[in-house]
Amino acid sequence: MSSMNEYLREVFKWNQEMRDFLESENIDGNNELWQKLNSLTNVMDRMDQPLNTDELGSLSEKVEEIHEEMEAYFNERLQLGAIYANETSVPAGKHVLPPLPYGYNALEPYISEEIMRLHHDKHHKAYVDGLNKAEDALERARATGDFSLVKHWSRELAFHGSGHYLHTIFWNNMSPEGGGKPSGALLAQIKKYFGSYEQFKKHFTEAAKEVEGVGWAILVWSPRSRHLEILQSERHQLLTQWDTIPLLVLDVWEHAYYLQYQNKRADYIDNWWKIVNWKDVETRFQHAGELKWKPV
C-alpha cells in the first residue's frame, strides 16, 4: 500500500510539473497534450478511495501514454533548437529553389509529372530568380543611395517573394500519402470556427473556385484573433492579411493545372483534396499556435 501511495504522489507531482511546463511554453489550451493532462487530472481528482489493481493499471497506462507524447514533444523542440542554432540567414540575392519533397510523378494521377516539372522547375524557379534580382537591386540602392526605382523593385520583391514562399508551402502541403482529414488540435479548431470539417472543406473549395483570374486559396491562422480563416489571394502579393500565418495553400493559377485539366478548375480542386498533407498542415498549425499577440 505504501508503494502505491508513493507512486500516486509521484504521478501527482509529475502531472503538475507538466502543466507548469505547458503554461511556460504558451501551448494552446486545445493542444492534445493539454487535453490528455486534463483527462489525467480529472481522474486523479476523483480518487477519494484506494485504487484496486485494475484501476491502478489503467492509471499507469494513461501516465505512460502521456509520458511518451511529452517525450516526443521534447525531442521535437530539441531538433528545432539545433536547426535554429546551426541555420544561417539567407543573404540578399542568395535564395535557391528547394527540391520537391517527393518525385515529380509522385502525385499522379491527381497532378501529372509534366505539370510538376513545369510548375517547379520553370515557374517556381522564375520566382526565386526574380526575388534574388529584386533583393540585389535594392541592396545596390542602399549602397549607392539611388532609390529612383524603389517602387518598381519593391513590387518585384513582393511579387516574386510571395511566389517563392507560397510555392514552398504548397509543395509540402501535398503528399502521395495525403488525403483524408486532419486530426488533433487542428481538427478541433476547424470544428470550432467553421462548424465542421465538411463546412470548412466546402468553404475552402468555393473560395478556390471563385478566385478572380489567378491566385490562391489560403487557410491561415491569426495570432491576434486566435482563430482560423480562409482567404483568397488574387495576384499573390495582394489582398492578404499581413499578420496571419499561412497553414494550407492551393495554387489555382492556370499553370498549376491547365495542361491536365484545361479550364476545369473545379476538377483540379476536387482531386487536390486527395493529396493534402495534413501532417504538414498540423505541424504548421502547432507552431503558429505558439505565437500569441495581444488580441485587437
Q: What is the spatial distance between Cα 36 and Cα 69, in angstroms, rounded to a whole number? A: 10
Element (H, E) at 247: strand 245-251
Q: Tell me the residue ranges of DSSP E strands in 135-226.
A: 215-222
Q: Check pLDDT > 60 for residue 296.
A: no
Write out pLDDT tens, residues 3-54: 666 666 777 777 777 777 777 666 666 667 777 777 777 766 665 566 666 7
C-alpha to C-alpha distances, 199 to 54, 154, 220, nearest whole angstrom: 42, 38, 16
At 141 the pLDDT is: 95
What is the pLDDT at residue 233?
84
* Interatomic CA distance for residues 230 and 213, integer angstroms: 18
Cα angle 237-243-246, degrees, rounded to a multiple of 5: 65
How many Cα atoms are found within 13 Å in the side-chain-facing hemisphere of 23? 8
pLDDT at 52: 67
What's residue 222's pLDDT?
87
Rounded to an integer, the average pLDDT of 141-170 is 90
* Residues 149-160 pLDDT 10s: 998 998 898 888
pTM above 0.75, yes or no: no
pLDDT exceeds 50 at position 239: no
Mean pLDDT of the chain: 82
Q: For residue 174, what are the β-bridge partners?
A: 276
Burial 71-86 (b: 16+ CB within 10 A, else e): eebeeeeeeeeeeeee
Least confident residue range of 81-90, 213-222, 248-257: 81-90
* Coil, strand or helix at 249: strand
248/212 Cα distance (integer angstroms): 19
